Each structure stands twice: as C-alpha cells, then as structure tokens.
Amino acid sequence: MTQKQAICQACLDNFPSLGDVCPRCASPVTGAHLCGHCLTLPPEQDLSFSLLPYLDPIKCLIADLKYYDKIFLSAFFADLMVEKLKHRPLPSLLIPIPLHPNRIRQRGYNQSFELAKALSTRLGIPSSNDYLIRIIDTQSQAAIPFKARKKNIQHAFKCIQNQVPAHIAIIDDVLTTGHTANAAAKQLRKIGATTIEIWTIARAIRHY
C-alpha cells in the first residue's frame, strides 16, 4: 500500500477536527489564546502544534504506525501536517523523541524518527537523532496512571551534544499529559535551545 492510498478522501474528510487550541500546549480552548493552565503553570515548550484530536480513527492509525510496521503512515501524516505548518515561522532543526535501545530492538524502528524524517524532506529542515537520547527504559506512558507519568519520564533523557540551534521542534506522535515533551525540552534548553516547539500528529483532549 502506498502513502497516497493510506486513507480514502471520504474518510479523510470525516477526520475529527481539533478546532481552536492554546498555542503553547495545543489543548482545546475557546479562541486561539493561552489556556488557564499555561497562564498559571506554563510548560517547558514555547509553542505546540498538533494536527488532529486523539480520537478514533486517528488512534487506530497511530497505533498502526507505532506498533504494526505501517511506516508509510508517517509520510501520510507528514503531508497533512506540512499543509498547516508551512505558513508559520519554521525551526532550524527537528529532533524526534528518542526510544530506548531496548525498545528499538523490540520494535525495529522509532515512529517519531520516521515522522521527523518525512517532515524534514517536505519542509527542507534537517532532522537529527544525534542530540537527545533516552537513557532509562521507562514504562510506556500509556500503560501507567496519569499521576505517575511525570515521575516515570522525569530523568529519562540526556543530551549528547554541547550545543543545539536556538529554534528547534521536538517531534512525537501524540501529546497527552505533556510530561514527555517537558522532560525532553528541559534537556535541550540546557544546551542552547531558546525557542522550543512540540509537533505531534495528535493531541489527547479528554483531560483538558
């Protein structure tokens, strides 16, 4: 199956819409302004972009990309993301959320890296997994209670370079609690990132 055949146009037209979101965390709001949470306790990232709400059928497609070797979906989602991203100021570098080597060996690939490569090709922005590594083989965030997710991911990442471009985007599949993005962004800010964006295919909305 090719990328163009991934989803028929009729199904694509019926994808759920995310609507107006907070520009900093991409959670739904009334009007495109900062949400109350970002005003009182802002996340580490400066901007967030999510293409779709994390609802069916998006959830099923992301699971196919993430766990069932349907890597062609990274190109499909990248095409949709680029249509929204190409009209805004772009970062100098894309950095995918890394997987621990144990997880890579089990799965065979990192879906965030595949998405970053597809976005890189379409936007003409370099992508690299040579800045950030995962040093702790954490439990899957989706498999543990929300209250435990911050602690689970807190010290999972490490930078392996001394400097990073000032404006970067971190690439992941889903933005849920934001703890993974926060942990990664904190490490990258230590080596020179001053404007950090989070780009994801989907945004979980039930907790916002």
CATH for 15-203? 3.40.50
Beta bridge partners of 196: 168
Gap between the Cα atoms of 12 and 9, Å rounded: 5
Gap between the Cα atoms of 169 and 196, Å rounded: 6
**Which of 128, 137, 69, 127 has its CA nearest to residue 101?**
137
pLDDT tens for 160-198 read: 999 999 999 999 999 999 999 999 999 999 999 999 999
**Which of 135, 152, 132 has its CA nearest to residue 196?**
132
User: Taking the mean position of all CA atoms in its chain, how far away is CA 11?
Assistant: 23
Q: Bigger pLDDT: 54 or 150?
A: 54
Does 208 score more than 50 pLDDT?
no
What are the domain boundaries of the chain? 15-203
pLDDT tens for 2-38 read: 444 678 888 898 999 999 999 999 999 988 789 999 9
pLDDT tens for 115-127 read: 999 999 999 999 9
Gap between the Cα atoms of 170 and 154, Å rounded: 16
